[in-house]
Amino acid sequence: MTGPDIADLADLTIAEAGTGLRSGDFTSTDLLAAVTKRASATEAHLHAYLTLDHEGSTRAAEAADASFAVGEDRGPLQGIPVALKDNMCTLGIETTASSKILDGWIPPYDATIVTRLKAAGAVITGKTNLDEFAMGSSTENSAYGPTRNPWNTDRVPGGSSGGSAAVTAVGSALGSFGSDTGGSIRQPAALTGLVGMKPTYGIVSRYGLIAFASSLDQIGPFSRTVEDSVLLLETISGFDPKDATSINAPVPNFGGSLGRGVSGMRIGVVTEFLNGDVIDSQIIAATRGMADKLQDAGAEIVEVSLPSTEYSLSAYYLIAPAECSSNLARFDGVRYGHRSNVEGTTEDMMSHSRAEGFGPEVIRRILLGTYALSAGYYDAFYGQAQRVRTLVRREFASAYEQVDALISPTTPTTAFAIGEKSDDPIAMYYSDLCTIPSNLAGDPAISVPIALDDAGLPIGFQVMAPALGEEVMYRVAAYVERLAGFTARASLATSEVVAP
C-alpha cells in the first residue's frame, strides 16, 4: 500500500478515486476495504444498510482490479463502491423495499440499473434502508427500524432514500442510488449535505425498481460533488426496451457545460418557495444569498411565480396513493412474500397477508388511493389531481420560455428530530413541498448543499430545468457548488468512531 491511508479512501470523491485507481495508487479492493471499514464503524450508529453483500462486492472489486491490470476500462465507475436503495431488484440478493411483506424475498433478476452498473464494473456494496415502499420523508417508516443522520444521530436523514443518503454522507460508499417520487432523493440529500439528483422522467429505466407511483418514480444518484453526480447518472441512463416509458433517444451530454459558469444565463427564483410561512427563515436567507452570488457571477436573476405549486402537494397526495394502491395490489401472499397463517378462504389469506405485511403509512396510502379511484369519487379526486398536474406542467413549460433554469430551497426545514413528525402525516408530507412539482412536471432537478444552519445542519439548494435539460441544470449546479464552497463533512464521518 503506497497511497494514502485506507481510512481516507472512504472520503474520496468518485472522480478522485477513479484517478487513483487508474494511476495505481490503490486498488478497488483497497477502496472496498475502506468503505467496509467505515460501514463497520458507523452502522451501529446509523443503520443505513439493510444488507451488505460482502461476497459479491469482493468479487466485483477483484474483477475491477483484474480489468485495470490488463488495461480494460469500462468507464468512470469501474472499481467504485456504490450502494443501492433496497427497492431495486438484485439477482440473488434479498430485496425488501423495507417491508415485512417482502422479508426474505430474493429476486430472480437484476433491475436494469443493476445490469448497467455491473456492466460498467461498479462494485455494489449492498442495499440501503428506506421508508417502506419509498413512502415517507424520514426513513422512519422502515419495517427494519429508522436510519439516523450522520450529521446528528438524533435527527432523521430525510427520506425515503435515507439509507442511500447516509452511506454516501458518512463514507460507507462513494456514491449511491435512490428513487425520487416526490423528493425522495433531493430531500435526504439536502438533509445530509449531499448532491442528490432526480433525472428527467424516462431517462433512467424503472425496470426492476419496485414501483411506488409509476408516473412519478425516477432513479437518481447521491454523491458528494456535482461532477460525481454526472458520472453516476451517465452510467445508468439511456433507453431500455424493458420499460415502455423509457425515452428512446440519445441521452443529453450531462456534463458538457460543467465549467461554463452562469454568465449570461437567465435564472428564475420561485417566489412561492421563499414564503416565510412555510419555509424556515435561515433557509430563505441562504437561498437569497446564493441567488445574489449567481447574479454577481453574471446571471440575470428574475422572480418567477408558479401559482399552481400551491396545489401540487394535494395533487401529489392523490396521484401517488392512487397509483400505489394498484401497484401494491400484487403483494397478496399468493406467489411470493409474506403469507398469513390465517384459517379460511383464499380471500382471507390474501387480505390477512396484506394487513400483516404492510406498515401503517403504506396502508394509509393504499386506502387513500383506493378511495380516490372509487366510482363516484374519481372525478373529484383523481381526475381533479390530474388536471392540476397538467396545469403544473404548463406553468413550468411557460416559465422555461422565460428562464434557463429555476432555483429554490430544496426543503422547508433542515434535518428534524427523529419522532418529531412521525405522528403527524400532514406535517411530514410538507417536507416535499418544494420537490414535488418537478416530479409532477417530469423535469430534472438537483439539490446542492450550500451552507449550514445555526444547528450545524446542512441546507440544500434546488436547481430545476426543463425536461432533458440536465446539461443546463448541471451547469448551474456546478457553479452553485463552486460559489458555496461547501466543504463540511458529516460529523460522524470525522468523529472518533471512524478513526483508524
Partner 1 sequence: MTVWEAVIGIETHVELSTESKMFCSCPADAEGEPNTACCPVCLALPGALPVPNGKAIEGILKIGLALDCDINESSIFYRKNYFYPDLPKNYQISQYTFPVCEHGHIEIDVDGASVRIGITRVHMEEDTGKSTHVGDGDGRIHGADHTLLDFNRAGIPLVEIVTEPDIRTSQEARAYGAELQRIVLALGVSDAKLEAGSMRFDVNVSVRPVGAKELGTRTETKNVNSLRSVQRTIDYEIDRQIKVLEAGGEVRLETRHWNENTGVTTSMRTKEESEDYRYFQDPDLLPLEVTPAWQSEIRSGLPELPAITRARLATLGADMIAAGVLADSSDLAALFEEAVEAGASGRAAGIWLTGEVVAYTRRSDVAVLETGLTGGRLAELTAMVEAGKLSSSAAKKVLIAVLEGEGSPEEIAESKELLQVSDITAIEAAIDHVLAENADAVDKIRGGDMKPFGFLVGQVMRQMGGRADPKVVRDLLTDRTAG
Please report, as ranges, the residues that interact with partner 1 according to CB under 8 A: 87-89, 95, 97, 102, 105, 107-109, 111, 206-211, 213-215, 241-245, 322-323, 325-326, 329-332, 334-336, 346-347, 350, 370, 373-375, 378, 382
Distance, CA of 440 to chain centre: 16
* Calpha distance 164→498 (Å, rounded): 19
242 classed as catalytic: no
40 classed as catalytic: no
Check if the beta carbon of residue 189 is closer than 8 Å to that of residue 151: no
Beta bridge partners, 237, equal 204
* Calpha distance 292→459 (Å, rounded): 17
> Active-site residue among 57, 98, 142, 160?
160
Q: How would you classify residue 411: left for phi > 0, otherwise alpha for psi between -120 and 50, otherwise beta? A: beta
Given the complex with partner 1, which of 130 and 213 has the nearer CB atom? 213
- Residue keyed to cell 472520503: 11
Given the complex with partner 1, which of 78 and 327 has the nearer CB atom? 327
184 classed as catalytic: yes
Phi, psi of 311 (to 5 degrees): -95, -5
The one-letter code for the residue type at 88 is M
Q: How far is the CB of 308 from partner 1 (least distance, A)?
A: 21
Given the complex with partner 1, which of 87 and 410 has the nearer CB atom? 87
Given the complex with partner 1, which of 244 and 499 has the nearer CB atom? 244
Given the complex with partner 1, which of 79 and 178 has the nearer CB atom? 178
Q: How far is the CB of 329 from partner 1 (least distance, A)?
A: 4
Check if the beta carbon of residue 208 is closer than 8 Å to that of residue 448: no
Given the complex with partner 1, which of 121 and 337 has the nearer CB atom? 337
3-state secondary structure at position 295: helix
Check if the beta carbon of residue 309 is closer than 8 Å to that of residue 399: no
Phi, psi of 178 (to 5 degrees): -130, -175
Q: How far is the CB of 439 from partner 1 (least distance, A)?
A: 12
Q: How far is the CB of 411 from partner 1 (least distance, A)?
A: 26
**Structure letter (DSSP) for residue 34:** H
> Active-site residue among 28, 57, 98, 184?
184
Check if the beta carbon of residue 312 is closer than 8 Å to that of residue 394: no
Q: How far is the CB of 102 from partner 1 (least distance, A)?
A: 7
- In this structure, the number of other CB atoms found within 10 A of the CB of residue 257 comes to 18
Q: How far is the CB of 248 from partner 1 (least distance, A)?
A: 11
> Active-site residue among 85, 118, 127, 198?
85
- Which positions are catalytic? 85, 160, 184
